[in-house]
Structure 1
């Protein structure tokens, strides 16, 4: 997992449109193909592709000439891998900006949820879900549940018993055994529904 210590790179990695471009560019791809995949106009993507290239997250890997047209093929770089972690130094120095970017991800989903709730129907028309749980757990149980959630989100095999996450605080023996109330709030939504 890549540690990001540059706030501009972090903002790009937290931007839904730019992440979508990077996800599509796992293999060499043209802006035309990216536009097709995202159901967008090419003209709306050139700016984002240029910014990603300037940041070193997307690389021009091939150019093909077709008559008077030149096709450029881009591929995401290793830095732009699917998983990343924000460095402690970045969080400390730019915590306000990081929170703003996180809110940009939460707000569309919350607005979509509100819109669906206002309809008063039990079945939502859009793909949005909010799950809330308020269990009483020991610190150890909390760590285990966190590991299970991360395993599910990352869609990769992780042995929960050996799961380590540097973003979790190191709990003392007392904290590991003490029962406390925890709040779990999970919002999921389809990005296209929120646009």
Structure 2
């Protein structure tokens, strides 16, 4: 059992998280679609075709090596365990998974002023990427609160096919939205009102 497997299985009890999806689970995989709704005109973008069956995914072994920065297969329950572990400063269900010092380093904004002024995407994409966020080690960190949205210090990252999550340490809330549709998120920015609705409805539920 390697280090990643020890984290997933032994400490976080993530039974459905893996880098290579075994044959017995491939039928559970969500099929990504090509269609999306553009926030600018609210009309469908694309023709809503299937992008690829899960059996053809690199995570199913169709590649020489596993990706070091993407490609895990997981579920909402397993993802929530990971997020709650971060809110617990490296602990989950009374078990120490990561050291407090490592979690503090992961969740601290390390961007310099020059990096904030030079977004990593070509124009016109992602030019406001760091307007309300910084970046830790693999995590986006909120540096400014907008309305009733997530608090300063909230951890998050939006995926390219519409998977998004955030963990708010001040409200002790973990929220996940797991979609699979191309162009919902481009350059870490939602191209659909779904993202705004997700944050608004979550905040409204907490207020109620």
Q: Normalized against structure 1, the TM-score is what? A: 0.29
Query: Which structure shows the bigger proportion of residues in helix conformation?
Result: 1
Determine which structure has greater relative contact order: mean sequence separation of CA pairs < 8 Å that are 6+ residues apart, divided by chain length.
Answer: 1
